[in-house]
Amino acid sequence: MASIPSTQKGVLIDKTGGTEVLQYKTDLPVPALVEGQLLVKNDYIGVNFIDTYFRSGLYPAPQFPYILGREAEGTVVKTGGGELYGLKEGDKVVWMADSAYAQYTAVPASKAIKVPSTLPPKVAAASLLQGLTALTLVREAHPVQKGDWVLVHAAAGGTGLWLVQLLKSIGARTIGTASTPEKVALALKAGATHVINYSDSDVRARVAELTAGQGVVAVFDGVGKSTFDLSLDVLARKGSLVSFGNASGAVPPVTITRLTAKNAKLLRPTVANYVATRAEYEAYSKELFDFIERDGLDARIHGVYPLSEVARAQEDLEGRKTTGKLLLDPEK
C-alpha cells in the first residue's frame, strides 16, 4: 500500500453561490480518522444534483469551509478501529457520505459497501447514489407492479435512466419525458415504452391518449418546480406523485386539498431515509448490483471530468447538457 500523504487535492466552498464559489485546493489536510471510520483513497467521485444545492444554498451546508460531494468509489487505505462491518485495508468500496470532492475522505464504515469483484470500479462509482435512489423509489415510494403505467421526468438524466431501466426490468410501462430528440432516443433505448419531448409536445394530451384516459399510477418527478402541476394532472385516481428533486427549482408550498380530486398521494422522499440502517443499505445495494449483473443494466457515464474542472461539470449538469452519470477524477 502506497504511503499516505499529509496534504491532498480537493474542492471546497466557504460561501454559497454560483460555480465561482467552488475552490480547487492542492494543500488540504488528509483527514484523521476516528473510531468507526475508513480512510478511502477515491478513484472516481460522483457528481449529483444535490452538490449544486449545497453550493447554491438551496440546502444548508453543515459548516464552512465545506468539502462538497456525496459519493465516491475507492480503496480503503487505513481503518480507525471499532465497528467496520467487515471492511478492511485494500478493499474496493463505494460510499455515500460527506466530503467526496477530494483525493482522500474519512468515511463512516456504516456508509461504505464493498464493491463486488465482478463489478468494474467505474461502473460501481456510477451506480450507487442514483441507482439506489431509483430502486428505493420504485420499491417503497410507490411499489410499482408489472403492467403499471408510470411517468418518469428527465428520463435521460442520471437518475432517470436508472428508473427507466429498473421499471423495464419490473415489467412496467414507462412514459418518459425529455427535452431534446437525442435524449428521447436515449430513454427509448434504455427501455421506456414511450418518450415525450416536453419542449414541443402536449404531455397531458399524450399521456391521456396512451393510457386510454386513465392517467399513470405514479409519476417520478426529479425536475420539481416546473413540472409539479403537470405531474399532478397526469396522475390516475389514487396515483402517487413522487417528487424527489429540484432540478428546475424547489416546489413551492402545496395546498393539501389539491390532492382530493384524485385521492392522490404526494411523497417527497430522499434515498438516505430508505437506506438509513445498515441492513437496508446492504440489502438495497446487493439488489442493485444483482440487477446490474443479471439484467445488464447500463451505468451510462456521460463523462469523467478532472476534479480541477468541477465547475464545468456542475455547469454542464445544471445546463441540461448531460445524459447519465458525471464522474470526477481526483488525480487531475
Using CB under 6 A, list all residues that contact ligand NAP.
48-50, 129-130, 133, 154, 156-160, 178-179, 183, 222-224, 226, 244-248, 269-271, 317-318, 320, 322
Taking the least distance from each CB to ligand NAP, the nearer of 12 and 156 is 156
Question: Residue 296's CB: how many other CB atoms inside 10 A?
Answer: 9
Taking the least distance from each CB to ligand NAP, the nearer of 140 and 329 is 140
SS3 state of residue 16: coil
Taking the least distance from each CB to ligand NAP, the nearer of 171 and 249 is 249
Residue 48 CA neighbour count, 13 Å, CB half: 31
What's the min distance (Å) between Cβ of 69 and ligand NAP? 13
Taking the least distance from each CB to ligand NAP, the nearer of 129 and 235 is 129
What's the min distance (Å) between Cβ of 327 and ligand NAP? 12
What's the min distance (Å) between Cβ of 320 and ligand NAP? 4
Taking the least distance from each CB to ligand NAP, the nearer of 11 and 50 is 50
Backbone dihedral region for residue 171 (phi beyond 0: left; psi -120 to 50: alpha; all else: beta): left
Q: Which residues contact 236 (CB under 8 A, 6 or more apart)?
A: 149, 211, 214, 215, 216, 217, 262
For residue 259, give the DSSP letter. G
Q: Using CA atoms in the order 124, 185, 271, 73, what is the torsion angle rounded to 10 degrees?
A: 20
Taking the least distance from each CB to ligand NAP, the nearer of 74 and 158 is 158
The greatest distance separating any two alpha carbons of the chain, rounded to the nearest whole angstrom, comes to 64
Q: How many helices and strands, by DSSP H and E, does the chain display? A: 9, 16
Taking the least distance from each CB to ligand NAP, the nearer of 28 and 176 is 176
What's the min distance (Å) between Cβ of 132 and ligand NAP? 8
Quote the cell numbers at residue 69. Answer: 460531494
Quote the cell numbers at residue 321. Answer: 447538457
What's the min distance (Å) between Cβ of 192 and ligand NAP? 12
Q: Where are the beta strands (DSSP E) in 244-300?
A: 265-267
What's the min distance (Å) between Cβ of 176 and ligand NAP? 9
Whole-number Å distance between alpha carbons of 157 and 15: 28
Pairing of β 325-329 and β 301-306: parallel
What's the min distance (Å) between Cβ of 251 and ligand NAP? 11
